[in-house]
Every structure is written in structure tokens, then in C-alpha cells.
Amino acid sequence: MGSYALPRRSLVLFLLAAAAVASTAAWAASSSSAGGGDDAARRSLLDNGLGRTPQMGWNSWNHFGCNINENTIRSTGYIAADPKKFPSGIKALADYVHSKGLKLGIYSSAGTRTCSKTMPGSLGYEDIDAKTFASWGVDYLKYDNCNSDGSSETVRFPKMSFALRKTGRPIFYSICEWGQRNVATWGGQYGNSWRTTGDINDSWASMLSNIDSNDASASYAKPGGWNDPDMLEVGNGGMTNDEYVVHISLWAIAKAPLIIGCDVRSISRETLEILSNPEVIAINQGPLSQQRTAVLLLNRGATGSRQITAAWQDIGVGPGVAVEAKNVWLHATAPGRFTGSLTAEVAAHLCKLFVLTPVGRAGEERS
């Protein structure tokens, strides 16, 4: 078995998770709403301290597929690997990535081969591969579900979780079993995130379909374990910029991983603006302080604008609470204050994303 580790080392395809390890302090503030008892039980199994907020980073797959090498990664400022394509080795690449203040992610499958069928998977070699990843300095594993032996996801995915923990290195474990077997109900015992859906593609229909499926599992997302409706297609060209605004807004408010999937070497100014809006990222990486609430109004229609209303009882704001509404894509606070509900006009295939800040109770300010 030991000798098998070497040839199999031609593994890989890589992703980089920048903020996979986030602050425990941030979580403390939101833990009251996160079902403390459940969480404690779950973490007694997982217990790797990672994913206190949804992971952020870049992954080569959505743009490059298998066509990656060391230069792609170094020239993006990000990562990828395979000894032929990565002659310096993954350890060296990990050192390089770490020297940039970033973290390195790797990919494998709970099967005999990865999905492309060009790389070996980790089924039956969980301990060896986990040890190898740890020895390279890998910080994140995305673990796919291709080419299995037909045994259950609920057996194959926990195996890698235990193997990763045995290494002693905190490695963010991204379960990718495509939302089968009610993964949201058990994923948090073993992983820091779990895919709730099949693969996204660069279209409006796919993007909405994935976030709609993901929404069914919303109540399972919490610090340490997140629903994953798949990576971002922003910047890959299949949607309009307005649609990409909707894409990242939905991912942000759903506390989904924000993993960039475009070619960051040739990123346009517009795409960069969509991906780097600090107020949108703050919604995703929250909690929002001062009892603020984020609300997204989405017009799914293909033509015509619509008036859309968010009522306080539907978004968890107290009945008499008056708020100010900051439109985070306009970077502007809407005129006046709102009590009971917020209504805005939203163009077709677009959304408005607001952060509401309580400013008192109705009538109170004049009493």
C-alpha cells in the first residue's frame, strides 16, 4: 500500500481558498441564533475549527477545466497541480501560495477516479491521501462523488472526514456529493460545507435552479458547516453583468461559499467590481452588527420591472421597528425610513440588495 502512494500522486486539480479559516470571534456574535446544542454535538465529531464563515477563494474548474498547470496558477496568483504539470511539486506550490497569505485547496473524489477520469480518486486510500495532502501543506479538500463503487455517500464521505482529522492538520473539508442522500442533514457532522445541488453551468436557469434547491436546506447552514450551491460563474460570459449581480447577491445572502470561477488574469473592471463589493461580502461573511438585516428583492421575470415588497414579518424584523435601508449595489442609503415593509422597483433579471439598520420604533423618534 505504501508504495502505491507514489504513482497515485499524479492526482489533482486545485483550488485556492483564501478565507477558509475565519475568525472565531465573528461566530460568537451569531451563535445565539445557530442552535447551540446541535452545533456542539456536531463539532464533537468534526472539530476542525474551520469554516466559521463561508469559504472564499478561487477555483480553476469553471474556466479552465482540466487544462491547468503550474504557470496558470502562479500567473493568476493562485494554485493548481500535478507533478508533470507542476514540476516543482505541490509542497513548493503550497509554500508559494502561503507566502502570498493565501491557502491552498486540492481536489479528489470518493471513487476510483476523479470525474474527468484522468486522475486517481481516493476511495480505499483515504488515510494515505489525507496524509499526503497534509504533508504538502494543503488547507482545503474538495471531495467529489464520481466513479464510486456504488456504496453509500454516507459511508464514503465520512471516511475521508476521519482520515483528514487523523492527520492533525486542520483541512477544510468540502463535501461534493451533489445534494444526494439529504446531505444537509448529516454533512455538518463531517464536513465544513456540502454541495446541495448538481453542477452549476454559466446560465441564468442553472444559477436560479441551484440556489432554489439550496434554499430547501437553508436551516442547516451554520458556522462550521455551510450549504454549497456550487461555485460562481461570474465573469465567464454566459450571463449579463446584471445577472451576475443577481448570482453573487443570492450566494452572499444564502451564506454560500464565494469561490470565483473565472480567469482572474484577464478579469474585466465590471467583473472585478461585481466580485469585490465589500458590502456584499460583509453580508456573506457576517454576522451583521447592530441587529442589521440583509434583504434581497429579486425580479425573475425576463421583461418589465416590478414593485417588490419585503414585509417585516417575513424577514424577521420586529413589527414596529423603523429602519434605514442601504442599497449595497448603489452604495447609497434610500431616502427616508421604513416601518413594516420595504418596497422597491426591480428591473427584469435583476435584484436589489439592502442592509436594513434599525433606527428606532415607529413614532418613537418624535415622542
Non-local (6+) Cβ contacts of 234 within 8 A are 244, 247, 248, 260, 261, 262, 271, 274, 275
Non-local (6+) Cβ contacts of 132 within 8 A are 5, 9
By CB under 6 A, residue 203 contacts ligand NAG: yes
Options 74-82, 150-158, 162-170, 201-209: segment touching ligand NAG (CB under 6 A): 201-209
User: Exactly one of 30, 167, 189, 201 binds ligand NAG (CB under 6 A); which one?
Assistant: 201
What does the alpha-carbon distance between residue 60 and residue 81 come to, in Å, rounded to a whole number? 11
Phi, psi of 141 (to 5 degrees): -125, 125
By CB under 6 A, residue 209 contacts ligand NAG: yes
- Give the nearer residue to ligand NAG in terms of CB position, either 121 or 261: 261
199 is catalytic: yes
What does the alpha-carbon distance between residue 197 and residue 216 come to, in Å, rounded to a whole number? 11
- Give the nearer residue to ligand NAG in terms of CB position, either 164 or 256: 256
Is 30:223 a contact under the CB 8 Å cutoff?
yes
User: Exactly one of 1, 25, 40, 205 binds ligand NAG (CB under 6 A); which one?
Assistant: 205
- Give the nearer residue to ligand NAG in terms of CB position, either 192 or 214: 214
242 is catalytic: no
Is 140:109 a contact under the CB 8 Å cutoff?
no
Catalytic residue among 95, 199, 242, 263: 199
The strands making up 258-260's β-sheet, listed across from edge to edge, are: 226-228, 193-195, 172-175, 140-144, 105-109, 14-17, 56-59, 258-260
Q: Say how many residues touch ligand NAG, by CB under 6 A.
A: 5
What does the alpha-carbon distance between residue 347 and residue 299 come to, in Å, rounded to a whole number? 7
Options 10-18, 51-59, 119-127, 204-212: segment touching ligand NAG (CB under 6 A): 204-212
Q: What's the closest the beta carbon of residue 202 comes to ligand NAG, in angstroms?
A: 8
Q: What's the closest the beta carbon of residue 177 comes to ligand NAG, in angstroms?
A: 18
Active site amino acids:
144, 199
Binding positions for ligand NAG, rule: CB under 6 A: 201, 203, 205-206, 209
